[in-house]
Every structure is written in structure tokens, then in C-alpha cells.
Amino acid sequence: MQTLTTEETQKILEEMTVNFNHGGRKITVPPPIFLAMKAEILSYTKGKSITVAFPVSEDQTNPMGMMQGGVIAAAFDNAFGPLSYLVAKRPTTTIDMNIQYIRGVAVNQRVIVKASVEAKGFSTIHMIGEMRTEKDKLLATATTNLLILKIPGGVGE
């Protein structure tokens, strides 16, 4: 399996944005929320996995001062989404996502989300994910199923 650099992966995602945008449709890969969360692609192994880092800031916290569960879900979605586009080479949409919160996520750290493809069919992709600290402590896990949309214009078409 070939592992691409951050720059190589980002270039593929940018090409997808250009290829998906025709016929009055506007699709942005990665999406604006990816940029708003200051996500950073650390690595991409073709067809298999992506690793994305997210800084945890105070504006993402719940009343107890820990990263809010919805923001944790968004971090997973911001790893699953780009990986699904890279694997399917066409737009996808989330069917479902299950998250298991293992421990609180403190602010002023960087968390690492690794998303991996477990199975890919003609119309769906099943993925798993883990969120860890930079010291490799498990914070949360997730699974998701995504629908591969029948919109033409994927890379290589």
C-alpha cells in the first residue's frame, strides 16, 4: 500500500473539488468545517486509511470544560468524509455513525483521528475510527456506513 504525504493527499482532494463541480453543483473537498476545525491530514494510505490531527480549543468545550461530544463526532466525520471521497472517487453521504466516548478530551492538546476502510461495496463503504492523544491514549472510537452517490464526475471518469 502506498502512503501519500499531506501535500499529495491535499492535491487529490483539491482535484476532486474541480472534478465534482459541474452541472450547477458545488461540492468542496475537504469541506469548510474541516478548515474551520484546523484539521491537518497527517497521512493517507491509498484505499485503506487516513490520519487527521485536530487541535482542541476552548470554544469546542462542554460545560465541564472538555471537548463537546458533537465536536468529537465532527472530528470523526472530518476523517471519514475525505477518506470516503478518496476511496469511492465520487461523492458520498453518511448513512449512520456510532461513537463510543472512552474518556474526556481536554483542551489545549492535539488529538489524532485515524479512519480505516473495513469494507467497500458497489454502493456503500464501512469504516472504523479511533481518536487518540498524541501520547497514544484512546479517547473515542467510531464506526460509520456511507452511501456512494451516483453523481458522475469522479476522478478518473
pLDDT at 90: 85
pTM over 0.75: yes
CATH number of 6-148: 3.10.129.10
Q: What average pLDDT does the segment 124-139 reach? A: 98
Q: How many CB atoms lie within 10 A of CB 149?
A: 15
Phi, psi of 74 (to 5 degrees): -65, -35
Q: Which residues contact 148 (CB under 8 A, 6 or more apart)?
A: 84, 88, 90, 91, 92, 122, 123, 124, 125
Residues of the chain with pLDDT > 70, as a percent, come to: 93
pLDDT digits (tens, 9 = 90+) for 46-81: 999 999 999 999 999 999 999 999 999 999 999 999
Residue 113 scores a pLDDT above 70: yes
List, for residues 16-45, the tens digit of each pLDDT value. Answer: 777 777 666 778 878 899 999 999 999 999
Q: Indicate the domain borders of the chain.
A: 6-148
Neighbouring C-beta atoms of residue 32, cutoff 10 Å? 8
